[in-house]
Structure 1
């Protein structure tokens, strides 16, 4: 079994009660029409999905992305614009410009700040970015895509933190940072690829034990980092929707 810091029973129950899916970004709607259509399925436990037109909003409005995101929003789903922080390498002006285009062209409901820094030293600039995004969209949902546990101070600047993004071979033995116990499960998200169907329930239990209410698990792999494993539906899409919808037994 994974070596975990065990949360309280109340935390596990809260994670189960609120568990849903966070879609880190499908391929373009012309390439993955079925994937985008499935997200509008009635009853799908979707917390949010990321719209990534061209590693950002692109140079001009894309009618296919506009249609896909519009259908999601009409179905009550939350659509987040993809912003690449490049671990702190991108300029403040570039990020704000991208955010404006997402709002003007696609009327997004928030932002997914991918490749967010994790170090304490980068926190002031990330706070500046967060405050600006909040000013642009006061009721928007903001996710920091760290991919690992960052310095704890980041938790106060976003609605959610992605504290794990990687393969099942690492996730099944992962540990949770102690400071996460100070926050509810709604604060955290886990993105895991290469999860076999036979281990899906175990993966869901790990997410609950670690206190992550938003997840995206897929059996697809990155093929030695040559493809994005999150661009298509998991092979067990129906199964994971069903299991999250009815909860996961102990």
Structure 2
């Protein structure tokens, strides 16, 4: 990610320390390969600050990005901005991870306004999770774009448009689940071949494959 994060591993930490204390300890002790952590309390900052969450976030030695749901452009901007403000007020976040961001050109102005609001609220690092390669105009709005999110079987067919080569590889992130341990290296190699510098692979699966860490070390 430009503006503070180079290539490596980004971890979507969608798990609470009450049920995954060991995972948070592992994140706090992770080596230099981990470059950022996405901090997701409850599909956003939650209803009120939690001391336990504040403690685990404060122990991390990498940029912490607050998770906010953009609702594919259908969620009211005021609600999105309110979540941005809560993250900034309650937790030691340095940026925002906007999930479910639309990929088409019709939403460029809406997403530009969200990115500007994040920066006004003291969250200078902005990541858009499209889950696919979006219209090239989004690259001018965010510091990083998630251009793949899905299972390892789908990642085998990933293909990047030519415009991504106009930007640093660290700007493009791949989040891969349902990945057998013996395929993790292939996922990283394939992501690099398609100009994605930030990669996270896990063998976890189900409705929320980001609810813990993979079975192998980070």
| Band the TM-score falls in, shorter-chain normalisation | over 0.9
Q: Over the residues paired in the alignment, what is the CA RMSD in angstroms?
A: 1.3
Match of 2:97 among 86, 102, 112: 112
Q: Which runs of 4+ in 1 moved over 4 A?
A: none
- For 2:94 and 2:55, locate their aligned partners in 1 and report how far apart those are by CA, in whole Å: 15
SS class of match (1:206):
helix
- Give the SS at the match of 2:36: strand
Higher alpha-carbon deviation: 109-118 or 39-48: 39-48
Is residue 2:151 matched to residue 1:167?
yes
* Partner residue of 1:137 out of 122, 127, 133: 122
Gaps spanning 5+ residues in structure 1: where?
Answer: 1-17, 242-250
Which structure's residues are more often helix, by fraction? 1
Distance in 2, matches of 1:157 and 1:200, equals 31
1:65 is matched with 53
Q: Cα distance, 1:19 vs. partner?
A: 3.2
Flag the structure with larger Rg.
1
| TM-score (norm: length of structure 2) | 0.93
Q: Distance in 1 between matches of 2:74 and 2:19?
A: 30
TM normalised by structure 1 equals: 0.82
Q: How does 1:4-153 map to 2 (within 5 A)?
A: 18-72=6-60, 76-137=61-122, 140-153=124-137
Q: Tell me the CA shift for residue 186 of structure 1.
A: 1.2
CA distance in structure 2 between the aligned counterparts of 1:88 and 1:120, rounded to whole angstroms = 12
Q: Alpha carbons of 1:232 and 1:42: their partners in 2 closer, same or farther (altered >3 Å)? A: closer
Q: 3-state DSSP class of the match of 1:64?
A: helix
Runs of 5+ in structure 2 lacking a partner?
Answer: 1-5
Aligned residues: 213
SS in 2 for 1:82: strand
- Between stretches 163-172 and 20-29, larger displacement belongs to 20-29
Counterpart CA distance in 2 for 1:61 and 1:67 is 11
Q: Deviations over 1:196-233 (max 9, x none)?
A: 122222111101101111111011122xxxx2111111
* Partner Cα separation in structure 2 for residue 42 and residue 145 of structure 1: 24
Structure with more relative contact order (C-alpha pairs < 8 Å, separation 6 or more) = 1
Residue 42 of structure 1: CA displacement?
5.0
Is the contact made by 1:26 and 1:32 (CA closer than 8 Å) also made in structure 2? no
Change in Cα spacing, 1:200 to 1:42, as seen in structure 2 (3 Å) is: closer
Kept in 2: contact 1:26–1:36 (CA 8 A)? no
> In structure 1, what is the equivalent of residue 3 of structure 2?
none
1:126-149 CA-to-partner distances (Å, cap 9, x unmatched) read 0011111112226x2111011001
